[in-house]
Amino acid sequence: MGNDKEYQADRRKFLVSMGLAGAATIAAPALKTMAADSSTVWAEEHEIVIIGSGFSGLAAAIEAKKLGAKDVVVYDKMPYFGGNSTYNGGLFAVPNSPLQKEKGIKDSPEIMAADQLKAGRGVADKELLLHVAEHAGEALQMSLDAGSEYFPYLQQLGGHSVPRTYQTTVASGGGIIRPLVEQCRKIGVKLVTRAKFDTLIFDDDGKVIGAKMLMGHYFGRDQEGTPMNIKTKRGILVATGGFARNINLRQAQDPTLTEEVTSTNPPSATGEALLEMFKIGAIPVHMAYIQTGPWASPDEDGFGYVSNYSIYNFAHSISIYIKTGKRFMNEIADRKTRADAQLSCRDDNGDPLPPITITSYIHAKEHPTMKKVLKYGVGWKFETIEEVAARFNVPLEPLKAQIKEYNGYVKSGVDEQFGKPMEKAKGKFIEAPFVVVRNWPKVHYCQGGVKIDVQARVINSADWKPIPGLYAAGEVTGGVHGVSRLGSCSIPDCMVMGMTAARTIMKS
């Protein structure tokens, strides 16, 4: 206790030094964060306040109610729930899952974390990754209990050493968000839309005790909303996602991410809450590590249909550089490796020249998204390779030679060009008729954010101790995945850390 009091005194000094504490500094123009005093008017008080209604926020709300919380509120600035989680592809990696046991696949949290550490190129957070992997099964069960449905097979995504990825039957995160929202309603979680987070509110000891919210917010319509101070008894969880749509912020971290590189995220992924936490002393981690999705298409907006189609089909397809008619990458390498390779595909003027991915129709049709890819004109069916070459202006003879060479790898089981694991391509030769899509990376996930500990507490840069009353989970946090996040590892990260935050808050 003595240490806590000493810390709180230090925290108070920090806030004062930042111009954040005390009535005289509330109106400081550069920093909006405010300290409560006797004149603070509280519009509402809740046991737990959650900002953001994606995977993390909803999982936290359900877990908190399960642990006995009587009054939990979830705010979202948009007119709908789920945020970027709804746009997610619905891919969920779980080690030691029921499907793995049924199919005899040997896996463990340690193996999954090792795969992620490898993709993270040595700077991922081993403790957090292992914590998430150890509890991913609990998160999967929460989604199943709420009513989520998954296909009865597992996928092996790029960088994963074994098949461990579930896919929702609707091929999007909406297949998890909708059941979680309904579950929240059933158990009495208060859900509020058009409520934009503005600032955190502290007490005299530097503890987060509330937030100023802008109620009746209309995103993108220049209508901020009415300010209301919301008090919390136990704590605030910030689960507001990343900043993929904040072009100035992401370009400040990585100058290559210009407007030329669009995003799979909705327009609301702008990162205001992240910046607010930085203002009050949270530690920024890995802000420059911004992931682009190599399975996206330049022929549709957002995540679209081609993303899930490509994620499934890359394993038994070839990606071709239009200029040469040759492969240029391992189609199931980790995301960063593939995105970097795709971004290098340019025409003679240096402009983007999106590569094509060719799949045999007989194998492409195994995934349900193929029908929509063809229906909406973001992928095309061809009867001959000559038609493919003519449509995309690919040199025919090199393309034919490449397909012949690759089919030799399918037969031998060894990719001598790029070392692609060929297990999922076994017996799946590239043969007519074909389905072809174009791929070009889009900003998909921000690995950077605030530093948290394994209890989801936000760490203060002044003393490396948790900021009292403040918790964070999901994409708003940083350092978990390192340089590159493996596909299907976002949902377990978000849900497990949301559940973890709830467990920590309920002990407070």
Catalytic positions: 335
Collapsed DSSP state (helix, strand, coil) of residue 141: helix
Burial class (CB in 10 A: 0-12, 13-18, 19+), 114: middle
Collapsed DSSP state (helix, strand, coil) of residue 164: coil
> Hey, what amino acid is at 446?
C
Number of C-beta neighbours around residue 463 at 10 A: 14
- Strand pairing report for 326-327 and 449-450: unpaired
Look at the chain and count its residues: 508
Separation between Cα atoms, residue 237 and residue 48, nearest integer Å = 8
> Hey, what amino acid is at 155?
Q
> Hey, what amino acid is at 316?
H
Separation between Cα atoms, residue 269 and residue 374, nearest integer Å = 29
Closest CA to 334 of 439, 257, 420, 265: 420
E strand segments, 216-355: 226-238, 284-285, 290-293, 318-321, 326-327
Closest CA to 448 of 177, 307, 254, 235: 254
Separation between Cα atoms, residue 233 and residue 216, nearest integer Å = 24
